[in-house]
């Protein structure tokens, strides 16, 4: 079976979100600029890690896949933490919270995907990948709709 790398990149891209936080509320352009900078750095790291994914999904390659996700998940958790530290403009909190909640769900599913890969069950892995991709696509869509240009922009192979 071919490994759906593009789908994984979509999931991971959903994970790339924002920058430095605290202090006063940001304007929408400031939020977009800072979050996109965080996402760009995160995407660079995760793209490097995802480059280590095997080309096929087999019982033999599942441990390598699990290892890649083991290293990607902490990067995405830190990305979420940095994004949540940003203070969106008043009135935009709900949209940003929904986006970050879906981003976090996609990271949780990626963590579960790692566990499924570690089990060696390729059929369960493909099913979990489909679920993870759907949540990642939702987060990407929300980020793009808000106006982010890096956050939520899936990077094809």
Residue 134: both structure tokens together: 């759907």
Using the predicted structure, report yes or no on whether residue 20 has a pLDDT greater than 70.
Answer: no
Exposure b/e, 89-122, CB count within 10 A at least 16 = b? eeebeeebeebbebbbbbbebbbebbebbbebeb
Dihedral sign for Cα 117, 123, 124, 130, please: positive
Q: What is the structure's pLDDT at 23?
A: 64
- Rounded CA separation 31/37 (Å): 10
Domain chopping of the chain, boundaries:
5-18+26-85+93-146
Q: Which of residues 94 and 17 earns the better pLDDT score?
A: 94
Q: Do 12 and 136 form a contact (C-beta atoms < 8 A)?
A: yes
Using the predicted structure, report yes or no on whether residue 4 has a pLDDT greater than 70.
Answer: no
**CATH code of the region 5-18+26-85+93-146:** 1.20.120
pLDDT (average), residues 128-156:
89
Per-residue confidence band for 154, with pLDDT thresholds at 50, 70 and 90: low
HSE-up (13 A, CA, CB side) for residue 68: 21
Using the predicted structure, report yes or no on whether residue 15 has a pLDDT greater than 80.
Answer: no
* Start-to-end CA span in the chain (Å): 17
Q: How many separate helices (H) and strands (E) can be counted in the chain?
A: 5, 0
């Amino acid at each position: 079976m071919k490994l759906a790398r593009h789908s994984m990149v979509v999931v991971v891209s959903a994970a790339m979100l924002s920058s430095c936080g605290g202090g006063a509320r940001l304007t929408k352009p400031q939020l977009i600029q800072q979050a996109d900078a965080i996402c760009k750095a995160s995407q660079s790291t995760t793209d490097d890690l995802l480059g280590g994914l095997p080309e096929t999904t087999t019982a033999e390659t599942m441990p390598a896949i699990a290892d890649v996700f083991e290293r990607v998940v902490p990067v995405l958790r830190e990305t979420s933490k940095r994004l949540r530290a940003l203070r969106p403009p008043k009135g935009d909190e709900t949209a940003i919270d929904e986006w970050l909640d879906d981003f976090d769900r996609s990271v949780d599913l990626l963590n579960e995907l790692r566990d499924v890969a570690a089990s060696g069950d390729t059929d369960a892995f493909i099913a979990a990948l489909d679920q993870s991709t759907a949540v990642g696509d939702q987060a990407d869509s929300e980020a793009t709709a808000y106006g982010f240009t890096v956050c939520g922009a899936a990077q094809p192979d």
